[in-house]
């Protein structure tokens, strides 16, 4: 705990997959200065309690969950449950918040993001990349650029799960070997923006298709997201994404044209060494015979599967990188939140 002993008050807007993982990860970590004091979602209280207690992907909540009045009690702490569709329907100031975590995914422009500030939220961390660089004050990937955060920032994006997974690997290999061109395919688990059986979607024809019946290409902003974090790679990255019929854990298939000759052994040695030093806790490394479900509930941003590293010719590298798209990302939301609030406290 910090010397002030005052809990840092956080609220969640949107209590779906990421919102619930953030709340649960905070409780599983324990010993944090941060406390979730309110959550806002369109769902009713009974469903909120139920889906907090029972999670098909991460299992039962490891603690007490109980609803009483407008409180969702988690291990004895009251989280006030709100149900308002618009940011201005809530007096965020009255909640005496230090930080709001926006996890509904519904607000992507600067104008929309500022609605939370106008309604009294002091700072907002968004669980997705925003529309254009100016939509937030900065986009952070914890472990890469979080230390550039200006304490005066009010709107911050936590980037995407795929950006968090790819950037540590790319930055490292660009620094130590040099990268000419990068091509990435994200192999991503299904998400709640896809139907179980074919249904209408208003902006994307492929998202009308049954999530558990097909391998489905979808659009991705990963290449631009990487360039935002690693401008030295601008114009040299492309990416595509396919959704696959699993419920959680995704992978990156990364192809790299390097600037000098290398080998699978060298690439693996560099990544393994970084996972034990500068990227410990963010990047992991394995050569075991894994399948994706082995990484469910893994808090790392990325796990390099060294058994799948291939080098075709001396300068064409192919990597397989696993990541728990829910749990890893939720833990990075907490890492950024914690860093931001400690920084803000020091500058007060």
Ligand X SMILES: NC(=O)c1ccc[n+]([C@@H]2O[C@H](COP(=O)([O-])OP(=O)(O)OC[C@H]3O[C@@H](n4cnc5c(N)ncnc54)[C@H](OP(=O)(O)O)[C@@H]3O)[C@@H](O)[C@H]2O)c1
Residues of this chain that interact with ligand X (CB under 6 A) are: 13-19, 40-43, 85, 103-106, 127-128, 160-161, 191-192, 325-326, 329
φ, ψ (nearest 5 deg) of residue 185: -115, 120
Q: How far is the CB of 279 from ligand X (least distance, A)?
A: 19
Q: How far is the CB of 348 from ligand X (least distance, A)?
A: 29
Q: How far is the CB of 326 from ligand X (least distance, A)?
A: 5
Residue 18 CA to chain centroid, in angstroms?
Answer: 8
Which of residues 103 and 211 has its CB atom nearest to ligand X in the complex?
A: 103
Which of residues 1 and 84 has its CB atom nearest to ligand X in the complex?
A: 84
The CA R_g of the chain, rounded to the nearest whole Å, is 20
Which of residues 165 and 173 has its CB atom nearest to ligand X in the complex?
A: 165
β 99-102/124-126 pair status: parallel
CB count, 10 Å around CB of 151? 13
φ, ψ (nearest 5 deg) of residue 199: -155, 160
What are the distances in angstroms from CA 41 to CA 38, 118, 262?
Answer: 10, 19, 50
Residue listed under structure tokens 């002091």: 122
Alpha carbons 301 and 141: distance in angstroms, whole number = 10
Which of residues 40 and 262 has its CB atom nearest to ligand X in the complex?
A: 40
Alpha carbons 142 and 153: distance in angstroms, whole number = 16
Q: How far is the CB of 21 from ligand X (least distance, A)?
A: 8
By the 8 A CB rule, do 239 and 187 touch? no
83 class by beta-carbon count within 10 Å (0-12 exposed, 13-18 middle, 19+ buried):
middle
Alpha carbons 321 and 248: distance in angstroms, whole number = 14
103 is an active site residue: no
Residue 348 marked ligand-binding: no
Which of residues 49 and 326 has its CB atom nearest to ligand X in the complex?
A: 326
What are the distances in angstroms from CA 211 to CA 189, 303, 313?
Answer: 9, 25, 37
Residue 127 marked ligand-binding: yes
| Residues facing 285 on adjacent strands | 304
- Out of 83, 103, 161, 293, the active site residue is 161
Residue 41 marked ligand-binding: yes
Residue 70 marked ligand-binding: no
Residue 338 marked ligand-binding: no
- Indicate the residue whose CB is closest to ligand X: 16
**Binding site feature residues:** 17-18, 41, 127, 325
**Binding site feature residues for NAD(+):** 17-18, 41, 127, 325
Cite the active site residues: 161
């Amino acid at each position: 705990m910090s010397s002030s002993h005052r809990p840092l008050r956080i609220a969640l807007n949107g209590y779906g997959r990421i919102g619930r993982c953030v709340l649960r990860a905070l409780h599983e970590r324990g010993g944090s200065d941060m406390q979730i004091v309110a959550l806002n979602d369109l769902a009713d209280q009974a469903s909120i309690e139920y889906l907090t207690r029972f999670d098909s992907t991460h299992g039962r909540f490891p603690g007490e969950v109980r609803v009483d009045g407008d409180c969702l009690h988690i291990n004895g702490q009251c989280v006030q449950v709100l149900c308002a569709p618009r940011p201005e329907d809530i007096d965020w100031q009255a909640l005496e918040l230090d930080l709001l975590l926006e996890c509904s995914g519904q607000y992507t422009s600067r104008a929309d993001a500022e609605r939370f500030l106008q309604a009294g939220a002091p700072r907002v961390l968004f669980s997705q990349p925003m529309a254009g660089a100016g939509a937030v004050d900065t986009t952070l990937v914890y472990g890469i650029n979080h230390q550039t955060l200006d304490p005066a920032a009010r709107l911050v994006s936590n980037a995407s799960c795929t950006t968090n997974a790819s950037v540590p690997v790319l930055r490292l290999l660009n620094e130590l070997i040099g990268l000419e061109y990068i091509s990435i395919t994200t192999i991503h688990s299904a998400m709640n923006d896809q139907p179980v059986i074919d249904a209408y979607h208003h902006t994307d024809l492929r998202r009308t298709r049954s999530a558990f019946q097909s391998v489905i290409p979808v659009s991705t902003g990963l290449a631009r997201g990487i360039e935002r974090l690693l401008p030295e790679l601008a114009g040299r990255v492309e990416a595509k994404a396919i959704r696959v019929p699993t419920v959680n854990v995704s992978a990156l298939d990364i192809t790299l044209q390097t600037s000098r000759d290398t080998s699978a052994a060298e690439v693996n040695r560099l990544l393994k060494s970084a996972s034990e030093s500068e990227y410990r806790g963010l990047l992991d490394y394995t050569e075991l015979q894994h399948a994706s479900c082995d990484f469910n509930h893994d808090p790392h941003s990325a796990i390099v599967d060294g058994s799948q590293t291939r080098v075709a010719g001396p300068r064409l590298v192919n990597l397989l990188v696993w990541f728990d798209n829910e749990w890893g990302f939720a833990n990075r939301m907490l890492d950024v939140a914690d860093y931001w609030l400690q920084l803000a406290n020091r500058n007060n």
